Amino acid sequence: MDTKIPNNLEVGERIRKARENMKMSREVFSEAVDISDIFLGQIERGERSLSIKTLCRIVAFTGVSTDYILFGNEETNSTSQKIDRILNRSSEEMKDYYYKILTTSYSFFKEYEKNKK
């Protein structure tokens, strides 16, 4: 049986990439996933493994898939899939809030593009 074991360094790099894509400092991100910034740094450098509980918190917060974090499978990490995972865990009230943010952002972007020409 060929079982692929996650590599701590690669897992850490993917977590760091997800954090940086969210434009978050290590301190802010670690607080959001309820771990210390020192522990997050150790995970990102591949010095420590993360627990399933911590993995679940990171996945829930970022919307990235566990398959991507553990094995680097980009096919499960498209922007649409990340949004779907976040929406699936959200209340109707939060979905309405997200919708308002998206429509406002879309209107702003369209106006920006029109004025740029």
CATH of the domain at 65: 1.10.260.40
**Same domain? 10 vs 54:** yes
pTM of the model: 0.72
Q: Which domain holds residue 52?
A: 1-77
CA separation for the pair 97, 91 (Å, rounded): 10
- Same domain for 13 and 32, yes or no, is yes
Express each pLDDT in 37-46 by its tens digit.
Answer: 999 999 999 9
| Claim to verify: residue 72 and residue 82 sit in the same structural domain | no
Q: pLDDT for 6-40, tens place per residue?
A: 899 999 999 999 999 999 999 999 999 999 999 99
Residue 1 has pLDDT above 60, yes or no: no
Per-residue DSSP letters for 49-116? ---HHHHHHHHHHH---HHHHHH--GGG--HHHHHHHHHHTS-HHHHHHHHHHHHHHHHHHHHHHHHH
